[in-house]
Structure 1
Amino acid sequence: MILSLLFALQSETSPVTPIDPDIVVLANKLRRIDVDMKLKKRGGIVTLASCRVTRPSGEVELDAIPCGVAQQCMTEGVVSRRQLVACVEDKSNRKIDAIVAARREAATKR
């Protein structure tokens, strides 16, 4: 009786969602990106002196994210390196989520 109950419970578990290989490839590309950002501080004002991708992912769309969002963060009033890092991570994640969603949608239309 217990054995049949265990089999019944096991059969009711949800199936494992397969991992999308395109998402795995995208994640690996994102890990490769390395960015060099330099800030200048004069008179209490912090500016983004330079930003460049030192190790690209191989996809222009992905490589443009870090410096693009860094500039956005600076125009929104970031005043320290810590704030810049947090802002860049937050905005980058949103842009990456949008890219992933667009790619998933395109894949379902194929």
Structure 2
Amino acid sequence: MEKRELPNSTLILVFGILSIVGCCCYGIAGVVFGIIALVMSKRAIEIYNADPELYTGYQNVKTGRILAIIGLVLSVLSVLGTIISLIAYGSFEGIEEMQREILREYGG
């Protein structure tokens, strides 16, 4: 029997990569892509485990899942950092003002 590609294996890998990249956008995009990649990878792993000889692309699913977990952790840390900064400085303007003060103080 001919082997077939696991459903969405490449998409899971892409979403895993996007979850890491998305942590730079205040973490929101990274959380979204990470969760989607984890849900899709769970389903793909179930399909693969039902009949491993029938499918290829399992390596993409495993790699995408690992990247999604890393991206999710980084994104959650980014979201928490943003929330803590907003609480400490009141708004994004307060953060920008603090950055300007630091640059003036250290001669930047």
| TM-score for both structures, normalised by structure 1 | 0.31
> Relative to total residues, which structure has the larger helix share, 1 or 2?
2
Which fold has the larger relative contact order, with Cα–Cα distance below 8 Å and residues 6 or more apart in sequence?
Answer: 2
> Relative to total residues, which structure has the larger strand share, 1 or 2?
1
